[in-house]
Structure 1
């Protein structure tokens, strides 16, 4: 007869195991505009606002879990690059090793930009949304409370024995189980998982001089690029 389990999971948490690895993705074009100053003095012009709706996604999987008859799960907040004011989270099922993807739509908005344009000249303003892909490993930690009941056959007689999860953890090989020295009914279990997130970070605004018929001037030294922190709004389904 196979052993039976009677227990519950408590205090399940997910912790970052190693620093996340972040790679920049190809910036996404948002829009452009041309500003022209026909006066004899430098002028400051304001652009329109620029917006882009994209899908941010998080994929997670449990690479090393445990199956003891009950379910343990916990949420994890993805560490993000930059000051986006946005939160991405994912939930791990400690006993399910299949990959799960959660996708949500967000609108990124760059407020109107004030651009200085020299006298009798034009500039082109190009706005791109920067994106990154971040991935990392996590530890899945939980506390199991209960015991295991097993039946052993000796000739025509059956013998039942109960083992606390703490006793089993104490005898288990490896570092994925540990026990509470003050309460043998507790067993601390450690699993592992991973995640991969793709999301937008900030805007890059490039300003470059052009002549009046829209052709870029030869002097690239006059061009410049700066970053803009976006306003981010989640799109409700």
Structure 2
């Protein structure tokens, strides 16, 4: 079961109901429906992923994207990744120059692939770059939510910028009042282990035949092994 908590504000960030004082245990379907409803209303939703807790909004909703930057105190020049439910949907939002099999060897999983963005993607999302990072977390809840939304999610870690990533919902308690919904999936990984807070491995695949590691993350060794040994890609300095 996924636990759902109401946030302290309404979907657009206005004053909400009792919010944090109310905690309900929702069934899987109800939790997915609640998350999709909050996202479609322009809200920010905290969700568990396969690495750390994240905050998601609709990537095509420019107001919600601005809200994520405000929530985190994030540098406006730092890009947000998009999150999809399946590899097939990636082709709509990205120009892919690697084999489909390579994508499926890495996704779903704790890896962010940086690719050329397509015209389908909201121009207000990372307007300063022609690239976009794509996440398909190996976590059934967020993938089901992503599948139920018409466009991609924008996804970032559930923490104030420059602070440590979070592995439980209580660790980002200071963000609760600005969230429309919090999905409590329990602790992610080993809360005592610094390695569990590294987040996804971010790799740029936008240059044909090459790759560059933007962030080592938690899956560096296995990712590099697949790219070099199986597909013969050459490492490039970031």
TM-score (norm 2): 0.18
Instruction: Name whichever structure is richer in strand by fraction.
Output: 1
Instruction: Name whichever structure is richer in helix by fraction.
Output: 2
TM-score (norm 1): 0.18
